Amino acid sequence: MKTFPIGGIHPSDCKEYSKDSAIERFPIPEIVTIPLAQHIGAPAVACVAKGDRVLVGQVIATAGGFVSSPIHSSVSGVVKSVDMTADAQGNLKPSVTIGVEGDEWVESIDRSKEIAKNINLTPQEIVAKISEMGIVGMGGATFPTHVKLSIPAGKKAECLIINAVECEPYLTADYRVMLELGDRLLVGARILAKAIGVDKIYIGVENNKPDAIAHLEKLAGAYLEVEIVPLKMRYPQGGEKQLIAAVTGREVPSGGLPIDVGAVVQNVGTALAVYEAVAKNKPLFERVVTVTGSTLKEPKNLLVRIGTPMSALIEYCGGMEGVGKVIAGGPMMGRAVSNVDAPVTKGTSGVLLMPTEESLRQKEGVCIRCAKCVEACPMGLEPYLLSKLTQNGDFEELERHYIADCIECGCCTFSCPSYLPLLDWVRIGKAEVMKRIRERAAAKK
Partner 1 sequence: MENQKLVISPAPHVHGKNDTRRMMGDVLLALLPALVVSVLAYGWQAFVVVAFSVACCVLVEWFIQRFMLRGENTIGNLSAIVTGVLLGFNLPANIPLGLVAIAAVVAIGIGKMTYGGLGKNPFNPALVGRVFMLVAFPVAMTSFPEAVGAVSGATPLAMAKEALKAGAPVSEVLQSVNFADMFLGAKSGSLGEISVVALLLGFGWLLVRRVISWHIPVCVLGTMALFSGIMWAVNPAEYMSPLFHLLSGGAVLGAVFMATDYVTSPMTKKGMVIYAIGIGAITMLIRLWGPYPEGMSFAILIMNALVPLIDKWVRPRRFGVVKTQK
Site for partner 1 in 408-427 (CB under 8 A): 408, 410, 413-419, 421, 423-424, 427
Collect all residues with Cβ–Cβ distance below 8 Å to 104 and sequence separation of at least 6: 55, 56, 76
Nearer to partner 1, 18 or 415 (CB): 415
Amino acid of residue 275: Y
Cβ nearer to partner 1, comparing 179 with 352: 352
Strands (E), 47-179: 53-54, 59-62, 71-72, 77-86, 92-100, 159-163
Among 337, 351, 386, 389, binds partner 1 (CB under 8 A): 337
Residues numbered 159 to 198 that lie near partner 1 (CB under 8 A) are 169
Q: What is the 3-state secondary structure (H, E, C) of 44-55?
A: CEECCCCCCEEC
CB of 238 to partner 1, least distance (A): 14
* Counts for the chain of helices (H) and strands (E), in that order: 12, 17
Q: Show Cβ contacts of residue 77 under 8 Å, excluding neighbours closer than 6 positions.
A: 53, 54, 98, 99, 100, 101, 102
Shortest Å distance, C-beta 335 to partner 1: 7
- The only residue of 366, 441, 442, 443 in contact with partner 1, by rule CB under 8 A: 366
Phi, psi of 212 (to 5 degrees): -65, -40
Site for partner 1 in 210-249 (CB under 8 A): 241, 245
State the minimum distance, in angstroms, from the CB of residue 140 to partner 1.
11
Q: How far is CA 162 from the centre of its chain?
A: 13
In sequence order, what E strands does 108-224 have?
A: 159-163, 201-206
- CA-angle at 88, arms to 82 and 94, nearest 5°: 20
Distance in Å, CB of 192 to partner 1, minimum: 24
Contact 25, 60 (CB under 8 A): no
Q: Is there binding between residue 358 and partner 1 (CB under 8 A)?
A: yes
Number of residues counted as binding partner 1 (CB under 8 A): 74
Q: Which is nearer to partner 1, 281 or 359 (CB)?
A: 359
79-112 b/e with 16+ CB inside 10 Å = b? beebeebebbeeeebbbbbbebeeeeebeebeee
The footprint of partner 1 on residues 124-143 (CB under 8 A) is none
CB of 413 to partner 1, least distance (A): 5
Determine if 406 is a binding residue for partner 1 (CB under 8 A). Answer: no
Q: How far is the CB of 199 from partner 1 (least distance, A)?
A: 26
- Our finding on whether 374 is near partner 1 (CB under 8 A) is yes
Q: Residue 381 interacts with partner 1 (CB under 8 A)?
A: yes
With respect to partner 1, which residue has the nearer C-beta, 114 or 396?
396
Stretch that binds partner 1, among 27-35, 104-112, 197-205, 329-337 (CB under 8 A): 329-337
**CB 224 → partner 1: shortest distance, Å?**
31
d(CA 238, CA 164): 8
For residue 400, how many other CB atoms are within 10 A of its CB?
11
Q: Give whichever of 102 and 417 is closer to partner 1, judged by the CB atom.
A: 417
Among 154, 362, 442, 445, binds partner 1 (CB under 8 A): 362
Q: How many residues does the chain have?
A: 445
If the CB atoms of residues 194 and 232 are measured against partner 1, the closer one turns out to be 232
